[in-house]
Amino acid sequence: MPGRRLTRADRQQIAAGLAQHLSYADIARRLNRPASTVSREVARNGGPARYRAELAQLATTHRAQRRPQPPSPVQRTIEHLGPAPDATAALVTDLATALVETGLPRTAARVMACLFASETGSRTAIEMAQHLQVSAATISHAVRLLERQELIRRGRDAGGRRHRYFLDDKAGLRTVAAGVAANQRFAATALRGAELFGAGTAAGSRLALAGRFLERLGDDLIRSAEKHWLDMVGERGDAYMLTSHAE
């Protein structure tokens, strides 16, 4: 039905249609959907050259989030029941160092580490600035970057006056997705380069091999990451179950 949300199978058909160089209108007719639905889906997920069904499915799953709720007074009390401040600070430093090695800028990595070490998984910008001993402007720049990567979410404090930043429940999964997306962008560019140079050239052959390898590896990683995540969610009593249908 035209009104239902796109499914994984729909996205696979979109990817197949793009690979065949079909127009959005032709792909939409196959799906019995408006062409605008297909064009928005492709534009939202990297454009015709970089669209991947598995990445698009995972990215849309990520967007289907509940609005974060501010921590209750009880949760704020729990925040002070953890390890000694020195031990917590040392752990935050170690976590930030590890996150920097994944490609995150240092301040953004420290913000992520600060949220990971928070019992409620959330802090205001002022709280993070105090914990990390940096300016509010520095925190603001870091959280904008993390929001764009969908690693954190913004909500309201209990009083409704200050923004509170929440570590996304699926931050680990999204980190994998972000890394795969970067590889897939390289893969798409390499394959375009292979066409430009031609299969008969050494450069074309080299680019084609790298592009195909990274493309297949990325698809495998996404499927594996999502499977393991769903398995772990099931073990935790379905508390953070990913939605099976997307926008």
Give me the CATH number covering residue 104: 1.10.10.10
Residue 184 lies in a domain: yes
List the structure tokens of 36. 């605008």
Residue 242 lies in a domain: no
Residue range(s) defining the domain that contains residue 105 = 73-167
Give Cα 39 distance to the centre of its chain: 21
Q: Is 80 found in the same domain as 50?
A: no
Single out the residue in 137, 167, 197 at which a domain terminates: 167
pLDDT of 35 > 90? The answer is: no
- pLDDT (tens digit per residue) in 106-124: 999 899 888 888 877 788 8
Give Cα 128 distance to the centre of its chain: 22
pLDDT of 74 > 70? The answer is: no
Give Cα 139 distance to the centre of its chain: 20
Q: Is 222 found in the same domain as 187?
A: yes
Single out the residue in 132, 167, 202 at which a domain terminates: 167
Q: Model pTM greater than 0.75?
A: no
> Count of domains in the chain?
3
Answer whether 164's CB lies under 8 Å from 154's CB.
Answer: yes
Single out the residue in 115, 147, 167 at which a domain terminates: 167
Residue 245 lies in a domain: no
Q: Is 131 found in the same domain as 146?
A: yes
Q: Is 160 found in the same domain as 191?
A: no
Rounded to an integer, the average pLDDT of 127-138 is 88
Q: Is 132 found in the same domain as 175?
A: no
- pLDDT (tens digit per residue) in 190-240: 888 888 898 889 998 999 999 888 888 877 877 787 777 777 766 554 444
Residue 68 lies in a domain: no
β-strand partners of 156: 163
Average pLDDT, the chain: 77
Q: Is 216 found in the same domain as 144?
A: no
Q: Is 193 found in the same domain as 139?
A: no
Q: Is 95 found in the same domain as 55?
A: no
Q: Which has more pLDDT, 81 or 20?
A: 20
Q: Is 77 found in the same domain as 59?
A: no
Torsion of CA 158, 160, 165, 170, to 10 degrees: 70
Residue 51 lies in a domain: yes
Residue 195 lies in a domain: yes
Question: Residue 168: which H helix or E strand, with range?
Answer: none
Ramachandran region of residue 194, left (φ > 0), alpha (ψ -120 to 50) or beta? alpha
* The pLDDT of residue 130: 87
Q: Is 179 found in the same domain as 154?
A: no
Residue 1 lies in a domain: no
pLDDT of 14 > 90? The answer is: yes
Q: Which has more pLDDT, 70 or 196?
A: 196
Residue 2 lies in a domain: no
Q: Is 159 found in the same domain as 104?
A: yes
Q: Is 139 found in the same domain as 87?
A: yes
